[in-house]
Amino acid sequence: MAAKSESRLWIDELPPRSLFEPGDVPGSKATVLSMLSRMAANPDASGVERVRHGLYFKREDSWPMDYNSNDVIRAAFRIAGPGAGMTNYTALNRLFWVWQRPNATYLITAADTLPSTPTLKAVRWELIPDAEHRMELSGAECSLLEAARWTVWVEREWDDLLKEIMTKPQCPFWRTLNSIGGDLRPDALREVAALEKPTHLEAKLLDSCGPSHGVPLKSRIENVAAAIETRYKADREGWVLI
């Protein structure tokens, strides 16, 4: 049996559910592209599927990418670049702030044009205008801004959510944002809090829902930033919040 090439060994050792580009794989460009072309042509056997030109996904136990999973969101963010995040019911459901599951994966971008992700089934993109301040934020940070924006739909008590962020490092909030990847910086969230403006729809919803949902958007973002900072401090200092 012929020895495996350095390129193939690198892919074999890659953790399951990893996204990678041809430039990540050791070996000459021609050799790597040829190998990936063969592997993507038979993903059931190779365990590697092509997400789009220049982006590949290593399957787990030969299972295809689940188009309802965080893997799709990570792939979409990788394609879209900075300024992309989950929005409305997708953001809220993935953080377990609502139980209703959306019929598609709703994502938003602060870029000038919508990303092209035709192979990512059920992904729906929206543009958010006047949001250049988001271009330096990670996908996790942008997603959290969107979740704070749509708390009018949250099905749980706001104070309970903040306590969960502070005290439960394994709760769905942290699992989802860690799975998506990227920085989650309290100071960065505070810096953009004053620049975030409620949409016309959100303003109408807040007006109709009364004072129970009347916490201003800036305050909501700052609340979440403070809860994240408290969790980080607890992790660093080894104390547990009750």
Domain map (residue ranges) of the chain: 6-58, 70-237
Q: In what order do the strands lie in the sheet with 123-127?
A: 84-86, 105-109, 123-127
What is the average pLDDT across 148-168?
A: 87
Q: What is the pLDDT of residue 200?
A: 58
What is the distance between the alpha carbons of residues 183 and 140, in angstroms, rounded to a whole number? 7
For 82-109, what is each residue's pLDDT tens digit?
899 999 889 999 999 998 888 889 999 9
Buried b (16+ CB within 10 A) or exposed e, 123-137: bbbeebeebebbeeb
For 188-199, what is each residue's pLDDT tens digit?
999 998 888 766
pTM score of the predicted model:
0.82
Do β-strands 19-20 and 48-52 pair in parallel, antiparallel, or remain unpaired? unpaired
Kindly tell me if the per-residue pLDDT of 150 is higher than 50. Answer: yes
What is the average pLDDT across 128-153?
A: 87
What is the average pLDDT across 33-56?
A: 93
Q: Which range has the worst mean pLDDT, 140-144, 156-160, 226-230?
A: 156-160
For residues 179 and 14, the model is more confident at: 14
What is the distance between the alpha carbons of residues 55 and 202, in angstroms, rounded to a whole number? 36
Q: What is the pLDDT of residue 24?
A: 95
What is the average pLDDT across 226-233?
A: 91
Q: What is the pLDDT of residue 40?
A: 93
63 - beta bridge partners?
60
Task: Enter the tokens of residue 98.
Answer: 């609502």
For residues 118 and 57, the model is more confident at: 57
Q: What is the pLDDT of residue 68?
A: 72
What is the average pLDDT across 126-150?
A: 88
Q: Is 96 exposed, middle or buried (0-12, 13-18, 19+ CB in 10 A)?
A: middle
Kindly tell me if the per-residue pLDDT of 208 is higher than 60. Answer: no
Average pLDDT of the chain, as a whole number: 85
Q: What is the pLDDT of residue 212?
A: 43
What is the average pLDDT across 37-47?
A: 93
User: Considering the chain, what percentage of its residues have pLDDT values greater than 70?
Assistant: 90
DSSP secondary structure, 173-198, as one string: HHHHHHHH-S---HHHHHHHHTT---
What is the average pLDDT across 174-180?
A: 88
